[in-house]
Amino acid sequence: MTIVEYAQDADIFSLSVPKLEYVFLEEKMSEKSKLLYSFSPVTDKITLLQKSGDVIVTYPMEFSASNKQDSGDDHEKGGLFFELKVEYKIVFRSKKKTKVPEQVKKELFEQVVPRVVHPYFRQTVAEALQKAGLPPLQIPLIEGLEKDEPND
């Protein structure tokens, strides 16, 4: 079975957010601060479990905003003042209920899951920043992220 065959057989049965955590840290944002944002999956906490015809993926993402004082040194990073931790749970349901090979599972959480999660994460970050009273940010589309990656 290939990832293409699995994709033809399986559907996304559910996508939920069992964890959404806002963390405001001690560091405060000042008017003279520049904002540095970063986001990424928490790769060491990604899980994939198969139960019967379901493949259940837990995919945590983190977003952080840090404070950089105008010091003239672009490499000097100020303190972290806001974090957003989101855990997504995606259930893929197969009609055939066959065991999914390890290679297909790997491709599923390396290629498919990030593309499924990314639009929801972008929306969650935008809403979180607005609710926190922080400047707006549009996280790039996943295609835009691929263009920024260095060539191997």
To 10 degrees, the CA torsion angle through 109, 115, 119, 124?
20
List the CATH code of the domain at 3-146: 3.10.420.10
Q: Name the CA radius of gyration of the chain, rounded.
A: 18
The domain locations on the chain are 3-146
Q: Is the pTM of this model over 0.75?
A: yes
| pLDDT mean values, one per 10 residues, the chain (152 residues) | 90 95 74 76 94 93 77 52 93 90 91 94 92 81 56 44
- Give yes or no for a contact between 91 and 54, defined as CB atoms under 8 angstroms apart: yes
Contact 51, 63 (CB under 8 A): no
Q: Tell me the C-alpha to C-alpha distance, in Å, between residue 47 and each of 42, 66, 109, 116.
A: 10, 28, 9, 16
